[in-house]
Structure 1
């Protein structure tokens, strides 16, 4: 069964031309530095049209880089062996990104419980509660702080689609995000 968390309007695909990068799990083994390198690539690529204003360029580059890095890090951290596909586009003044990977069924169930909680209500309130809970429990993991920061501080809209795969105990995960960038352009 396919399950959607978040607003469905951003999870319907990208209509404009997209840029796509596939991170293959091969001899190089996917590592954390691949997240930063890939997110820097997308940030630079999509911030270039804003180069006329140094401040706008820096803000757009930072926001896109942070968003893409957070999503790729999550995909890398929780994935099953296989590739991670990152697709991005600029549409109607918004940067849109989709990260696709495969996760274990148990990880999917745990993530869905987290998403059911953090996608309801005010992200800023959830963020504060999570920070306080993590301060009390130093061993806390998978708290969603990165996702909540994106929603609360960056105005990101996020959605996730979980779909079955042919492989046993594996779930196909598509993570969608969009952040506004049009108001930065002169």
Structure 2
């Protein structure tokens, strides 16, 4: 059964010209240090159109980099061995990204439990609750702070689709995100 978390309109696909980056599992063994390198590359690439204004460029590059890094880190954290696919596009209004990977069913269920908690309610209030809960319990993991920060502070819209695969213990995970870039661009003109 396919399961959706977040608004359906975000998860309807990438309509614009899409750039793709594939991170292959192989001799380098995909790991966390690939997340920052990949997100920096994508942020640099898509922020170039804002280079006429140093402030806009820095703001857009930072927002895109933070968004992509969070989604790629989650893909690495919750994935089964195999590749991670990142698809991204930008238009005058927003930067859009989709990160896809396979996950082991049990780990995907844990991630779905986290998403069921953080995708309902006001992201700002949930962020404060999670910060307080983490402060009270130093052993807390999988808090969703990065995702809640994206929604609360960056205006990101996020959605996830979990789809069954032919392998019984694997689930296909697609994370979708959209973050506004029109504010920076409107200040340029």
* Paired position in structure 1 for 2:33: 33
Residue aligned with 1:126, SS? helix
- State the secondary structure of the residue aligned to 1:139: coil
1:58-69 correspondence runs (5 A):
58-69=58-69
Where in structure 2 are the equivalents of 1:10-159 lying within 5 Å? 10-159=10-159
C-alpha deviation, 1:107, in angstroms? 1.4
Per the normalisation by structure 1, the TM-score is: 0.98
Write the distance in 2 (CA, Å) between the matches of 1:109 and 1:76: 15
Q: Would the aligned equivalents of 2:78 and 2:111 in 1 still touch at CA under 8 Å?
A: no
Deviations 1:120-163 (A, max 9, x none): 11001000000111111111111111110110111100000000
What secondary structure does 1:132 align onto? helix
Alignment size in residue pairs: 186
After superposing on structure 2, the runs of 4+ consecutive aligned residues of structure 1 that deviate more than 4 Å are: none
Q: Distance in 2 between matches of 1:7 and 1:182?
A: 21
Report the Cα offset of residue 78 of structure 1.
1.3
With the length of structure 2 as denominator, give the TM-score of the two structures: 0.96
| Pairwise CA distance, 1:167 | 1.1
Unpaired stretches in structure 2, ≥5 consecutive residues? none
Write the distance in 2 (CA, Å) between the matches of 1:91 and 1:54: 19
Task: Give unpaired runs (5+ residues) of structure 1.
Answer: none
| In 1: Cα distance, 2:91 partner to 2:160 partner | 19
Distance 1:81 1:153 in 2: 32
Deviations 1:23-77 (A, max 9, x none): 0000111122211111011100110000010000000000000000011011111
